[in-house]
Chain A
Amino acid sequence: MDIPVLAQIVVGAVGAGAVLAGLGVRVLGPKAATAITIAGVGLAFLASVILAWTYAQGSAPQAVDLYHWGPGGYGMKIGFLIDSLSVVMMVVVTLISLLVHVYSIGYMRGDPGYVRFFAYLSLFTLSMLLLVMADNFLLLFIGWEGVGLVSYLLIGFWYTRARAPSAGLKAFLVNRLGDFGFLLGMGALLAGAGSLDYATVFAQSEALAQQLSPFAGLSMLSLICLFLFVGAMGKSAQVPLHVWLPDSMEGPTPISAMIHAATMVTAGIFMVARLSPLFEGSEVALNLILVVGGVTALSMGLIGLVANDIKQVIAYSTLSQLGYMTMALGASAYAASIFHLFTHAFFKALLFLAAGSVILAMHHGQDIRQMGGLARRMPVTAATFAIGSLALVGVPGFAGFFSKESIIEALAHSDLLLAPTAHFLALAGVAVTALYSLRLWCYVFQGDPRSAEAEQAQEPDKTVTVPLILLAVLTLAAGFGVEAFLYGGLLGDALVVHSAHDTLARMAEHWDGILGAVLHGFAAPAIWLLGLSLLGGYFLYEKGYAAKLAPAVSGLQSVLLRKYGFDMLYENWFVRAAHAVADACARTGDQKMIDGLLVNGTARLTRRAAATLRLVQSGLLSHYALAMLLGLVAALGYLLLRG
C-alpha cells in the first residue's frame, strides 16, 4: 500500500473510533465501545508499523495533503508530512495508545464513564497523531490544542470530585500560556516567512536568521524559536510552566501513563525536533533550551525525593526526564532527544501502569507510606516496575541507559555557552533519579505492609498485567534501538543539524556498538554517580537512615515539599493578581467609571438639569414676561454689538 493511503488509514481509523464512541456515548455499551476504539487504534497501529517498516527501508518523505483549511497561500491546510520522524512518533503513539486501551479495559471496569473514557482516549490519539503527522504549523497547532483539550477532559474525568476539574482547568490554562507563545511564534512566522507550511518555512530559515526582529539584537528566527519554545515549555511542562503536570495526576492512571508520560508531554520535544531546521539557526534559543531543560531535570527530580503520592513521584520523574530530552534538544542532539522520548515512553508508561496496578490493588490508595511489601503480593507488577525503574535510572543495558547516556555525552560535546552548566545539571540529575527511584521502590515493594490494603493487595487481572509485561519487554528492547536512532539514520533527513553544533556526529566518531556502549557506560562518570547514589539510597531508604537524616536537611525538605513555591507564587501572586485586575476592571472600571460616572452620571446630570430648569417655570406671570424680555434684550444686544 502506498504511503498516503496508510497515513489516511492511521488517522481515519482512530478518528472513526473516536467519533463513533463519542457520538454513541449514550447508546453504546462498554463492550461495543471498547471494540470500536481498540479496533480503530489497532488498525492505526498496524498501518503505522507498515509505514515504519517502509521508512526503515528508506522511503522519501512524503506530503499528504487532504484539504485546504484556511485561505490559500499560507499553508493553512489539513495535510500530513510522512517521514521517518513522524513515523516513529506514530508508532510510539499508536502502540502506547493501544496498550493503554487494553489496560483500561480492566482499570476502568465498572466506571460509569467507561465509554466516555474510551472515546476520550481515541480522541486523544487522533489529536496526537495529527500533531505528529502535520506538515504545517496550523495542523500542528490544531493537534497541539486537541491533546490539551483531551488532557483537560481526562484530568477532570471524575468531574464530581472536588479537585479533578480544578486540576484540569489548571492544566489547560497553563498549557494555554504556552499556546500563547506558540501562537505568537506562528504569527512571527507568518510575518517573517509568509507561510505556515513546514517546507516553505524551513527553506527560508536562512533568510529568517538574517532578518531582524523588533527586539534589538535578536534575529527574527530567534524570536520565532523563542516564542515556539514557550509553547513547548507549556506542553512539555518545563520550569516554570511545569506546575500543571503533578496536579494532572488527578486523572485516571492510564491517562497519566499515556498522556502525561508517554505522549502529550513529549509533544513539545517532538515539536522542537520537528522544527530543528529553525532551531538550529538560533543559538540563543538553543542556550535557553539547554538551561531550561537542565533546571527542570534537576529541580523536579529533587521534588520526587519528597513526594509521597506514588503517581506524583512518577510525575516528577517524568518532569525530570522531560528536562533531559529538552537538554538534548538544546545540544542539537535531536535524535538523542527523540530516542529518549522513545524509550521514556515505554518505561514511563510501564511505571505508570504498574503504579496503576498498585493503586488498583490498594483500592485507589496512592500514598506510598501506606504501602510496603507489595513485591511479594504482586510479583508481576513488582517485576515490571523494577524493570521500568532500572530503565529510568539508566542502569547500563537498560533502555534509559542508552538514551540518557547519549544525552549526557551530547551535552559534554556541545560547544554552546551554557552546555557545561547543562552537563553538570544532567549529571546531578542522574544521582537524584537514582535516589527517588530507589526510595519509591523501597516504600512500595520492600519492607512490611503499612496498611490493611497493602496486606490484602492482589495482583489485578490479565488486561492489566499483559500490557505491563508487554511494556516491560518493550522497555528492555527499546534501548537497543540506539544505534538506529542516533547513528543509523533512522530519523533520516527529518532532523537538520547545523554542522557547527552537530554533537551526535562527534559522538559517532567514537561509537563502537551497543556492547561497547554498555561497557563504556561503566566507565562514564554518570554511572559512577549512579552507583554511588544507589548505594546511598540503599542505606537511606532500605536501612532507614532517611528518617534520622531528615531533621538535618529539614530546610531543604521544606523547600522541596513546597515545590520551590511555584504553586504558591502562581496562586498567591499571579492568580490573585489576575483576580484583582479583573475586579478592578469590572467594579472600578466598568461599574464605577464607565457606567457609574459616564453613563449613569450623564443620566443623573440630565435629570438634575431637568429638575433645576423646571423651577424656571415658576408659574409666575412676571417671571414669564421677564424671560421673554431677557430673550429680547439678548437678541438686541447681540445684533447691536455685532454692529
Chain B
Amino acid sequence: MSLLGLMIWTPIAAGFATLVLRDPAVVRRWSLAASLFVFVLSLVAVAGFDPAAGYQWQYQTSWIPAFNIDYHLGVDGLSLPLVVLTAFIGVLAILTGWNTATRHITQFFAAFLILEGLLIGVFCAMDAALFYVFFEAMLIPMFLIIGIWGSDNRVYAAVKFFLYTFLGSVLMLVAFVYLALQSESFRITDWYALPLSSLEQTWLFLALLLGFAVKVPMWPVHTWLPDAHVEAPAAGSVVLAAVLLKIGGYGLLRFCLPVAPDASLALDGLVIGLSLIAVVYIGFTALAQTDMKKLIAYSSIAHMGFVTLGLFILYRLATETAMLSVSGAIVQMISHGLVSAALFVCVGVLYDRRHSRNIQDYGGVLETMPVFGALFVFFALANAGLPGTSGFVGEVMVILATFQAGWWLAVLAAMVVVLGAAYSLWMVRRVVFGPAEHAEVKAFQDLSGREMLILMALAVPVLGVGLWPVPLLDLIEPSVVQLIDQAQAFKAGGAP
C-alpha cells in the first residue's frame, strides 16, 4: 500500500478497531497513537516531496473499469499542505475531544478517526469519483459527531449540515458524470485537457460551484455553518472549521478553475461578488453575534471569502499578481485552518468550565485564567489578521493583489481589516478582559496540560507561518503556477 493509502486507511481501520476495544482509556490512547502515526506519515510525505515535480506519492490501480474509475492517489503542492493540516488537526481533534464524550466514547473516537481518513482521502484523490466518494462519505461521521455529541439543537444542525452539503454535492455529481462521459475517464487531470464549449462549461461550472460553495461556505449558502458549529462538540468544530471548509476551496481550485476556465473567466464576477459579500456582510453579521461559536463561525465564512476571492480574482490580474493572490488564497486556507481551530478549542475550553457559549456569561476570564487568556487573545489577533501571525499572510496577499483588479474590490476586501478586528477583539474584550463579575468565572481553573498542549501546538505554526511563510509558499509555488496556467488555458476560445 502506498504512503497516501496508508494515511487514508490507517485511521479508518483504527476507527473501526476502536469499536472492538471498548475500554475508553485504551481507546483514547489508541486513537491518539493512530492519529499521531498518520501525522508522522504526513511529515514523511512532506520530507519526500519535491515541489517542482508535480503529483507525487502516486498510486494508481484500476478500481471500477466499467466506469473508468481508478483508485488513484497523489498529492501536489496544493493538496499536500492540506493533507498535513488534516493530519495535524486530526491529532488535535482527538486531544480536544479527550473528555468530551460522556456516552458512546468509543464511537466518538471512531467517528473522528474515520473522518480523518476520509478527509485525507479527499485531498489525495486524483480520480474524481474517488474524490466524490470521500467527499460525501465524510458527511456520515460528521453528521454523527454533530448529532450524537452536540448540544441542545443538535439534530436540526446535523440534518441541516447533511442536507445542505448533500444538495450541493449531488449536482456536482451530475457534473462529474457529464465530464466523465465526455472524457471517458474520471481522472481529474484528464478533465483539464478536455475541450468543452462555453455553454457546457457554464453549466458545469455552476454545478461544481454550488457543490463547493456550500462547503466553503459562500454566501448565501452558508447558514448551515453557524448552526453546525454551535451544536458540534469542540473537537467537531475544530475539524469542521479547520479541514471541512477547506475542501470547498480545494475543490474550487482543483475542479472549477482548471476544468472550466472559460466559465470561470465569464463568471468570476459572480464568485468575486459573493466573496465580497462574505467579507462585508458576514463581517457585520459576526459583529451582531452573542454566541462565541457563532461569531467564530461567521468569521470563518468571512475569512473563507478571501480564499474564493483570491482564487477567482486571478482573471483580472497580471500573471505575476495572480500568483500572489492564488498563493494568498491557499495560505489563507491553511492559516484559517489553524486559527479557527484554535479559537474553537478556546471556546471549548471555556465551555468545559461554564457550559455556556454566550459571551455575556463571561468577562474577566484573564483574571482567573491568565495563560488561557493570553492564548485566546493571541488567536483572536491572528484571526484579525495581525502581522506576524499566519492570518495576516494570506489576507494581505489577497488584498494587495485585488487592488489591481479594481480599487473598489480592494476597498471592500480591505474592510476585513476593520471588521475582522472589530468582531474578534470585541469578543475578546467582553470575554477575556474587564472585571470578572460572574462567580463561575471567578472559580475557573487555568488550562490543563492537555489543553495547553493543544493550544501551543496550534500557536507554533500560526506564528511560524506568520513570521516566515516562505517555506510554505515555496512548497505550493510550482503547483500554483501550474494552476494559473490551467486556469488560463481557455478551451472555448476566450470569453463566451
Residues of B within 8 A of A183 (CB): 396, 399-400, 414, 417
B243 beta carbon closer than 8 Å to chain A: no
Q: Does A564 contact B (CB under 8 A)?
A: no
Task: List residues of chain A with CB within 8 A of the CB of B224.
Answer: 599
Are B285 and A67 in contact, with the CB atoms below 8 A? Answer: no
Known contacts A172-B421, A183-B399: A586-B434 contact under CB 8 Å: no
Our pick among B284, B327, B371, B414 for the contact of A581 (Cβ within 8 Å) is B284
Q: Is the CB of A162 within 8 A of B434?
A: yes
Other-chain residue from A68, A149, A194 in contact with B381 (beta carbon distance below 8 A): A149
* Residues on B with beta carbons closer than 8 Å to the beta carbon of A68: 470
Q: Is the Cβ of A578 less than 8 Å from the Cβ of B287? A: yes
Q: Which residues of B contact A161 (CB under 8 A)?
A: 435
Q: Is A173 on the interface with B (CB-CB < 8 A)?
A: yes
Q: B75 at interface (Cβ–Cβ under 8 A)?
A: no
Residues of B within 8 A of A578 (CB): 284, 287, 422
Within 8 A of B (CB), among A133-149: 138, 141-142, 145-146, 149
Other-chain contact of A187, B370, B387, B399 (Cβ < 8 Å): B399
Specify the chain A residue showing the minimal Cβ separation from B393: A70
Query: Is the beta-carbon distance between B433 and A165 smaller than 8 angstroms?
Result: yes
Which residues from 213 to 241 on chain B have a C-beta closer than 8 Å to any C-beta of chain A? 220, 222-224, 226
Least Cβ–Cβ distance between B213 and chain A, in angstroms: 13
Chain A residues 173-230 with CB under 8 Å of chain B are 173, 176-177, 179-180, 183-184, 186-188, 190-191, 194, 196, 213-214, 223
Instruction: Establish whether residues A165 and B429, one from each chain, have CB atoms under 8 Å apart when the complex forms.
Output: yes
Taking a contact as CB atoms under 8 Å apart, the answer to whether B284 and A190 are in contact is no
Contact B400 A159 (CB under 8 A): no
Q: Which of A577-597 contact B (CB under 8 A)?
A: 578-579, 581-587, 589-590, 594-595
In the complex, A69 has a CB within 8 A of chain B = yes
Residues of A within 8 A of B421 (CB): 172-173, 176
Closest chain A residue, CB of each to CB of B404? A191
- Given A165-B434, A183-B414, A188-B407, CB of A586 within 8 Å of CB of B288: yes
The answer to whether B407 touches A214 (Cβ under 8 A) is: yes
Among B226, B422, B426, the most chain A Cβ lie within 10 Å of the Cβ of B422
Decide if B132 is an interface residue (CB 8 Å cutoff).
no
Give the contacts of B396-448 with A (CB-CB under 8 A).
396-397, 399-404, 406-407, 410-411, 414-415, 417-418, 421-422, 425-426, 429, 432-436
From A70, A145, A214, A598, B473 is in contact (CB under 8 Å) with A70
A585/B422 in contact, CB under 8 A:
no
Q: Nearest Cβ distance between residue A187 and chain B, in whole angstroms?
A: 3
Which residues on B sit within 8 Å (CB–CB) of A69? Answer: 468-470
Q: Is there a chain A Cβ closer than 8 Å to B354's Cβ?
A: no
Among B55-63, B140-148, B316-324, the one that faces the other chain is B316-324
* Chain A residues near B284 (CB-CB < 8 A): 578, 581-582, 584-586
- Check B407 against A579 for contact (C-beta < 8 Å): no
Inter-chain CA distance A484–B425, complex, in Å, is 44
Residue of A71, A166, A179, A214 with most chain B CB atoms under a 10 A cut-off = A71
Nearest-CB residue, chain B, relative to A196: B400
We find that the number of chain A residues with CB closer than 8 angstroms to chain B is: 59
At the interface, yes or no: A333 with Cβ under 8 Å from chain B?
no
Q: Are B367 and A160 in contact (CB under 8 A)?
A: yes
B476 to chain A, nearest CB (A): 10
Say yes or no: B285 contacts A589, CB within 8 Å. yes
- A74 in contact (CB, < 8 A): yes
Task: Pick from A159, A582, A594: contact of B220, CB below 8 A.
Answer: A594
Q: A179 vs B384: C-alpha distance in the bound complex, in angstroms?
A: 12
Q: What's the Cα separation between A621 and B422 when bound, in Å?
A: 66
Q: Are A583 and B469 in contact (CB under 8 A)?
A: no
- A residues 103-137 with Cβ under 8 Å of B? none
B residues 136-165 in Cβ contact with A at 8 Å: 160, 164
Contact bitstring A243-279, B, C-beta under 8 A = 1, else 0: 0000000000000000000000000000000000000
Q: Are A594 and B434 in contact (CB under 8 A)?
A: no
Which residues of chain B come closer than 8 Å to A214, judged between CB atoms? 406-407
Q: Most chain-A Cβ atoms within 10 A of its Cβ — which of B287, B399, B403, B429?
A: B403
A642 at the interface (CB under 8 A from B): no
Which residue in chain B gives the minimum CB-CB distance to A186?
A: B400
Q: Nearest A residue to B474 by beta-carbon distance?
A: A71
* B477 part of interface (Cβ distance < 8 Å): yes
Contact A71 B323 (CB under 8 A): yes
Which residues of chain A have C-beta atoms less than 8 A from B364's C-beta?
A: 159-160
- Looking at chain A's contact residues, the main secondary structure is helix
B403 near A190 with CB under 8 A, answer yes
CA distance A164 to B434 in the complex (A): 8
Q: Which of B285, B321, B366, B407 contacts A586 (CB 8 A)?
A: B285
Produce 1/0 per residue, A51-80, CB < 8 A to B: 000000000000000011111011000000
CB distance from B481 to the nearest CB of A (A): 11
Find out whether the CB atom of A585 lies under 8 angstroms from the CB atom of B407: no
Q: Contact at B434–A146, with CB atoms within 8 Å?
A: no
CA distance A141 to B392 in the complex (A): 11
Does B417 lie within 8 Å of A179, measured CB to CB? yes
**Which A residue sits closest to B407, measured CB to CB?**
A214
From 267 to 296 in chain B, residues with beta carbon under 8 angstroms from any chain A beta carbon are 281-282, 284-289
CB of B24 closer than 8 Å to a CB of A: no
Q: What is the CB-to-nearest-CB distance from B479 to chain A, in angstroms, rounded to a whole number?
A: 13
Q: CB < 8 Å: which of A67, A179, A184, A599 contacts B160?
A: A599
Contact A590/B435 with A67-B470, A141-B387, A582-B284 known, Cβ cut-off 8 Å: no
- Bound-complex Cα distance A146 to B469 (A): 18
Tell me if B461 counts as interface (CB < 8 A to partner A).
no
The answer to whether B366 and A159 touch across the interface, beta carbons within 8 angstroms, is yes
Residues of B within 8 A of A534 (CB): none
Q: Which residues of B contact A180 (CB under 8 A)?
A: 414-415, 417-418
| B51 interface contact, C-beta 8 A | no
In the docked arrangement, what's the CA distance between A194 and B366, Å?
44
* A581 to B418 CA separation, bound complex (whole angstroms): 15
- Does B388 count as interface, using CB distance less than 8 angstroms? yes
Of residues 350 through 389 on chain A, the ones whose CB sits less than 8 Å from some CB of chain B are none
Residue A510 is within 8 A (CB to CB) of chain B in the complex = no
Q: How far is the CA of A547 from the CA of B470 in the complex (A)?
A: 65
- Say yes or no: is B7 at the interface (Cβ < 8 Å to chain A): no
Q: Shortest CB–CB separation between residue A221 and chain B, in angstroms?
A: 14
B424 CB to closest chain A CB (Å) equals 10
B356-385 toward A: CB 8 Å interface, digit per residue (1/0)? 000000001011001100100000010000
The residue in chain B whose Cβ has the minimal distance to the Cβ of A144 is B387
Listed by A's residue number, 23 A-B pairs whose Cβ atoms lie within 8 Å are A26-B370, A26-B371, A69-B468, A70-B393, A70-B469, A149-B386, A159-B366, A159-B434, A169-B429, A173-B425, A176-B421, A177-B418, A180-B417, A180-B418, A183-B399, A183-B417, A214-B407, A579-B287, A582-B285, A582-B287, A585-B281, A590-B223, A599-B160
Q: Beyond A73-B320, A159-B367, list 18 extra A-B contacts (CB 8 Å).
A: A70-B397, A71-B323, A71-B324, A71-B327, A71-B473, A141-B387, A145-B388, A159-B366, A160-B435, A169-B429, A173-B418, A184-B403, A187-B402, A187-B407, A583-B288, A594-B222, A598-B220, A599-B223
**What 4 A-B pairs have minimum CB-CB distances, sorted nearest first?**
A187-B403, A165-B433, A586-B288, A582-B288
Chain B residues within CB distance 8 Å of chain A: 160, 164, 220, 222-224, 226, 281-282, 284-289, 320-321, 323-324, 327, 364, 366-367, 370-371, 374, 381, 386-388, 392-393, 396-397, 399-404, 406-407, 410-411, 414-415, 417-418, 421-422, 425-426, 429, 432-436, 468-470, 473, 477
Query: Footprint of B on A, CB under 8 Å?
Result: 25-26, 67-71, 73-74, 138, 141-142, 145-146, 149, 152, 156, 159-162, 164-166, 168-169, 172-173, 176-177, 179-180, 183-184, 186-188, 190-191, 194, 196, 213-214, 223, 578-579, 581-587, 589-590, 594-595, 598-599
